[in-house]
């Protein structure tokens, strides 16, 4: 049986839920396509971005490869993070199907 990969629309609220403990309620008013560094300013610095990567890895059971993945781009907006997670989940599902 093949696992179903969630859609970006399904993943976006889950991404927000994973990031809210780090970024707080300010994330509620951030559009999915808004650059986090611009709208959150110092609240989304490089250390916070790394913490967000860890939170996403934990929440979705994925592993981010800082060499292979363009983390700076992928973690710039909530929408990109959801798309990034979807891509990782699709890859994992495809690999599981082959094994």
Return d(Cα 38, Cα 19) in angstroms, integer.
17
All structural domains of the chain: 8-98 (1.10.1200.10)
Return d(Cα 65, Cα 43) in angstroms, integer.
24
**CB-based contact 40:26 (threshold 8 Å):** yes
Q: Residue 2 — pLDDT band, cuts 50, 70, 90?
A: low
Residues 48-69, mean pLDDT to the nearest whole number: 94
* pTM for the predicted model, two decimal places: 0.92
pLDDT number for residue 97: 83
Residues 56-83, mean pLDDT to the nearest whole number: 94
Is residue 57's pLDDT more than 90? Answer: yes
């Amino acid at each position: 049986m093949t696992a179903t990969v969630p859609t970006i629309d399904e993943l976006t609220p889950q991404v927000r839920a994973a990031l809210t403990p780090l970024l707080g309620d300010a994330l509620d008013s951030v559009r999915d396509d808004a650059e986090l560094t611009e709208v959150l300013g110092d609240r989304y610095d490089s250390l916070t971005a790394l913490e967000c990567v860890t939170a996403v890895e934990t929440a979705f059971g994925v592993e981010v490869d800082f060499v292979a993945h363009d983390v700076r781009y992928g973690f710039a907006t909530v929408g990109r993070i959801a798309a990034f997670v979807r891509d990782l989940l699709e890859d994992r599902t495809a690999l599981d199907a082959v094994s």
